[in-house]
Amino acid sequence: MTSRTAIVTGAARGIGAATAARLAREGHAVAVLDLLEDQATATAERIVAGGGRAIAVGVDVSDEAAVTAAVERVAAELGAPTILVNNAGILRDNLLFKMSLEDWDAVLGVHLRGAFLMTRAVQAHMVEARFGRIVNLSSTSALGNRGQANYAAAKAGMQGFTKTLAIELGKFGITANAIAPGFIQTDMTRATAERVGVPFDEYVTAATAQIPVARPGVPEDIAAAAAYFASEDAGFVSGQVLYVAGGPRD
């Protein structure tokens, strides 16, 4: 396997941190990007302590200038990035009639604008290398979820974005795929439980009851799927959406 440079956004914790760690174990140099730079630094330090190569970069992925600067720094310090995992995301849940324009724009801005800006900035390096792996994080919420009109729209948009990237960039040796996680135990799902006023243990139990494999997901489940899509072995897999949810999804 060729060692490459990978960028993972939203990698300070949760799915992003697990994915960054997994890619480092696969032999890649990893740039840990996150708005929470101190936590991103901690993630990068754990990777380095384990024998990997990593740097942390604080960045708002919805800021065009910040994205450009971040990618330039990664290329200078780790080498041209040819693996990109667009994982950065936020929640601003509410029923439609209560949802503010600011909360709509914030979620679409981080998920879709952020993925667009990061991919546009990184694809030039991939085209030059004639190799690229783009992995976008969607969600089972793309199928619709009460109180998440903004998040569901963003995650459905990620699927259309992914399929279009696959069509446009395939001739350059670049693949694009999406992962749609189901219920995963993270700080984000813990925050959701707090928002709805349910103890997290009860929230996990209720969610698990709906999962055919009878357990909740963990960040490493998603990291494993991302590692496959990022691998050389996945060169003939592109434009796909993989539901990693412990059971079938429509």
Q: Which residues are identified as catalytic?
A: 151
Dihedral pair phi/psi, residue 136, rounded to 5°: -105, 140
> What are the residues whose beta carbons fall under 8 Å from the beta carbon of 209, sequence distance 6 or more?
none
Dihedral pair phi/psi, residue 227, rounded to 5°: -65, -40
For residue 151, give both structure tokens: 């998040």
> In which order are the strands placed within the sheet that holds 174-181?
54-58, 29-34, 5-9, 81-86, 132-137, 174-181, 241-244
What is the Cα gyration radius of the chain?
A: 17
Given a contact cutoff of 8 angstroms between Cβ atoms, the answer to whether 249 and 210 are in contact is no
For residue 182, give both structure tokens: 């189901």
